[in-house]
Amino acid sequence: MSQLSTRHLLGIKDINEEDIRLIFETADNFKEVINRPIKKVPSLRDITIANIFFENSTRTKLSFELAEKRLSADIVNFSSSNSSVKKGETLIDTVNNILSMKVDMVVMRHSSPGAPHFLSKNIKANIVNAGDGTHEHPTQALLDSFSIREKLGDVAGKKVAIIGDILHSRVALSNIFCLQKLGAEVMVCGPITLIPKHIASLGVKVEYDVRKALAWCDVANVLRIQLERQQIKYFPSLREYSLYYGINKKMLDNLDKEIVIMHPGPINRGVELNSDVADSKQSIILNQVENGVAVRMAVLYLLAGGK
């Protein structure tokens, strides 16, 4: 298999295991490229990509932009904060105006779940979902699984605990789909108020005690508390959350095995992770950032048809 089964990357739910493995194999090649003295290849020299972000982003936007530049693509950056969206322009009109400038691919982040799916039914360009509300964040899940594969050799058979604000996290859902398709066991852990009511129906284990989750897993993917998405209080205070669900070095040292620590960023140090954990040798957080560029290069290259 040398091409993806889909024209878009809207969510992990919409792709199959073969697609994921092809992305990983392609990312292996691009990781070698970005570690060369000359980090650029002309693979997408004739492709124009629009980065359309309706929500704030640092890591994802920089990672996509760097991936596009490494592939020699032409880039158009769009931010809704200083655009005609503020004047009442619709999503379709905004994107069609950008596409009329002969853009081949759209990388989009939007606060509304399903926005990239809606767009894919109305425009001809390839679409990459860079996060849609609390729904999915496919490239983050791909780079997380790629990082586990790089660190542990394979994802199949590994036990992965996703710990934190599961309810508001698009990273959690995409990770669940991706890890399961690659044969991993998945557990979610957090306060009962931050665990979706019927999440066990996705085939994941549910745990409310962080120490039990750490004892069970091979990999702990720790999520931040998404205060900007919370309309009501789900726990008394960040201090109390940290007391019950914050992970420190002493907790890791008390385990009878060494586990891998991951975090999609940004980290709230002293809340979900202490610095002695985030900066420890068990942490692969910076590897995730590096792998993000290679994985996004692979996604863009494959969606462009491997030109």
Give residue limits of the domains in the chain. Answer: 12-136+289-304, 138-287
Q: Is 87 annotated as a binding residue?
A: yes
Among residues of the chain, what percentage have pLDDT more than 90? Answer: 79
Q: Is 170 annotated as a binding residue?
A: yes
Fold adopted by 12-136+289-304:
Rossmann fold (3.40.50)
Tokens in use for 27?
């990312």
Least confident range from 97-106, 146-155, 188-197, 209-218: namely 97-106
Q: Is 109 annotated as a binding residue?
A: yes
Q: List, for residues 83-124, the tens digit of each pLDDT value.
A: 555 557 788 888 888 888 889 999 999 999 999 999 999 888
Assess whether the previous peptide bond of 236 is cis (omega < 30° from 0): no
Least confident range from 109-113, 205-209, 299-303: namely 109-113
Q: Is 131 annotated as a binding residue?
A: no
Per-residue pLDDT at 68: 98
Q: Is 3 annotated as a binding residue?
A: no
Give yes or no for residue 148 having a pLDDT over 80: yes
Rounded CA-CA distance 54/117 in Å is: 15
Q: Is 224 annotated as a binding residue?
A: yes
Q: List, for residues 31-73, the tens digit of each pLDDT value.
A: 999 999 999 999 999 999 999 998 888 889 999 999 999 999 9
Q: Is 60 annotated as a binding residue?
A: yes
CATH 2.40.50.100 fits 138-287, yes or no: no
Burial 75-92 (b: 16+ CB within 10 A, else e): eeebebeeeebeeeeebe
Q: Is 21 annotated as a binding residue?
A: no
Q: List, for residues 209-241, the tens digit of each pLDDT value.
A: 999 999 999 999 999 987 555 566 777 688 899
pTM, two decimal places: 0.94
Task: Give residue 190's pLDDT band: very low, low, confident or very high (50, 70, 90).
Answer: very high
Per-residue pLDDT at 89: 77
Q: Is 226 annotated as a binding residue?
A: no
Per-residue pLDDT at 33: 96
Task: Give residue 307's pLDDT band: very low, low, confident or very high (50, 70, 90).
Answer: very low
Give yes or no for residue 272 having a pLDDT over 70: yes
Q: Is 265 annotated as a binding residue?
A: yes
Per-residue pLDDT at 57: 84
| Type of residue at 78 | F
- Within this chain, domains 12-136+289-304 and 138-287 share the same CATH topology: yes
Rounded average pLDDT over 277-281: 97
